[in-house]
């Protein structure tokens, strides 16, 4: 039987502790702004969760307002639009996860094969849409889809001899438009994450495969994709946690808040926002936030449990 050593580990001297602290202080200083933002934006508002269970009255304040139990949650479940907004939120996010992941991996692999200065140019060009605000993106989309002066109606369809389409009055086109716009805007950020992972792979694996006669495609399928699996699983689990959330700018600004498109553009976030504009009910918004957070938390736990059973090394915890 092999016995574990019970010898005490040597204590770190004061000089070493001081040197270690001196090396790590710049890292803590660099992380401080992000930690402050995280605390202010994510942790300080958490006591406001109590609003979801209150009948809020401004004169009584948050803690002085009477309790309402789960009455506020009925706002999301007893309305006729509950099924539509839940369906749109989930289905769009599922489509975004699948399409964006596949496209980001493909673009990251292509960028990893490039060399020279053009590689940085392509990376910057792909990332640029991610830095644009939703308002600017909505104007760009309108420049293409405007019924009167849009590029598609006035140039493409006109050259084909077809009549223009009233894009903002036709719901059937918008599931594809929203998926495409989301892909165009977010692919730069996602592919950079995968690209940074690919760059860190051991080049010796590719050299050995090349010596053995493996083609580029075989190297991608047998080396790159298997090594990318932990990163894909991690990002997918994080995306699953936000499956009950939607990009407000994408679903509100891009369709120009057109009433004819509500059946395919209305999500939980936009529905609550419109409800607040019309009713001014803060407690319903708080209830929707609690509902989204709770369901997202449960989905992350469930997805992580499935991954843990299939591949324990790829699970988050």
pLDDT of residue 104: 92
Q: pTM for this structure?
A: 0.79
pLDDT at 116 over 50: yes
Cβ-proximal residues to 150 (8 Å cutoff; 6+ apart), any chain: 142, 143, 144, 164, 167
pLDDT at 2: 45
Q: How confident is the model at residue 4 (pLDDT cuts 50, 70, 90)?
A: very low
The answer to whether residue 278 scores a pLDDT higher than 80 is no
What's the confidence (pLDDT) of residue 178?
A: 94
Taking only the tens place, the pLDDT of each residue in 180-238 is 999 999 898 888 889 889 888 888 888 898 888 888 888 888 889 999 988 888 888 88
The lowest-confidence range among 67-76, 170-179, 193-202, 265-274 is: 67-76
Instruction: Look at the alpha carbons of 34, 38, 39, 44 in this order and tell me if their dihedral is positive or negative.
Output: positive
Which of 68-77, 116-125, 209-218, 282-291 tops mean pLDDT?
209-218
Which residue in the block uniquely carries the two structure tokens 């894909």?
232
pLDDT > 90: what percent of the chain?
Answer: 18
- CATH code for the part of the protein at 81-314: 1.10.3720.10
Tens-place pLDDT, residues 300-317: 788 778 878 877 776 667
Q: Give residue limits of the domains in the chain.
A: 81-314
Choose among 230, 29, 193: nearest CA to 107.
Answer: 193
The model's pLDDT over 35-80, given as tens digits with 9 standing for 90+, comes to 999 999 888 888 888 888 888 887 888 888 888 888 888 776 776 7
Span 297-301, average pLDDT: 81
Helical H segments across the chain, by residue range: 14-38, 61-64, 74-77, 82-113, 118-127, 134-145, 151, 158-159, 174-199, 203-211, 216-219, 225-240, 248, 262-265, 268-279, 282-310
């Amino acid at each position: 039987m092999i016995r574990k050593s019970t010898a005490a580990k040597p204590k770190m001297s004061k000089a070493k502790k001081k040197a270690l602290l001196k090396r790590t202080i710049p890292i803590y200083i660099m992380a401080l702004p992000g930690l402050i933002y995280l605390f202010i934006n994510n942790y300080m508002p958490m006591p406001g969760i109590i609003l979801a269970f209150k009948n809020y009255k401004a004169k009584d304040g948050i803690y002085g307002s009477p309790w309402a139990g789960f009455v506020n949650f009925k706002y999301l479940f007893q309305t006729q639009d509950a099924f539509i907004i839940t369906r749109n939120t989930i289905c769009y996010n599922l489509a975004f996860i699948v399409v964006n992941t596949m496209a980001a991996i493909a673009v990251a692999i292509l960028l990893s094969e490039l060399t020279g200065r053009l590689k940085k140019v392509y990376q910057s060009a792909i990332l640029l849409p991610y830095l644009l605000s939703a308002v600017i993106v909505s104007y760009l989309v309108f420049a293409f889809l405007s019924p009167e002066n849009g590029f598609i109606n006035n140039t493409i369809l006109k050259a084909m001899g077809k009549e223009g389409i009233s894009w903002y009055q036709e719901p059937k086109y918008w599931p594809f438009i929203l998926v495409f716009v989301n892909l165009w805007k977010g692919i730069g950020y996602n592919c950079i994450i995968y690209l940074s992972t690919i760059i860190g792979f051991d080049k010796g694996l590719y050299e050995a495969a090349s010596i053995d006669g493996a083609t580029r495609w075989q190297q991608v399928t047998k080396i790159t994709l298997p090594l990318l699996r932990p990163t894909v699983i991690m990002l997918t689990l994080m995306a699953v946690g936000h499956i009950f959330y939607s990009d407000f700018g994408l679903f509100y600004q891009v369709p120009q808040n057109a009433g004819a498109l509500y059946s395919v553009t209305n999500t939980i976030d936009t529905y609550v926002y419109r409800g607040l504009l019309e009713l001014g009910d803060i407690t319903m918004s708080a209830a929707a936030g609690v509902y989204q957070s709770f369901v997202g938390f449960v989905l992350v736990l469930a997805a992580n449990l499935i991954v843990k059973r299939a591949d324990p090394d790829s699970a988050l915890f």
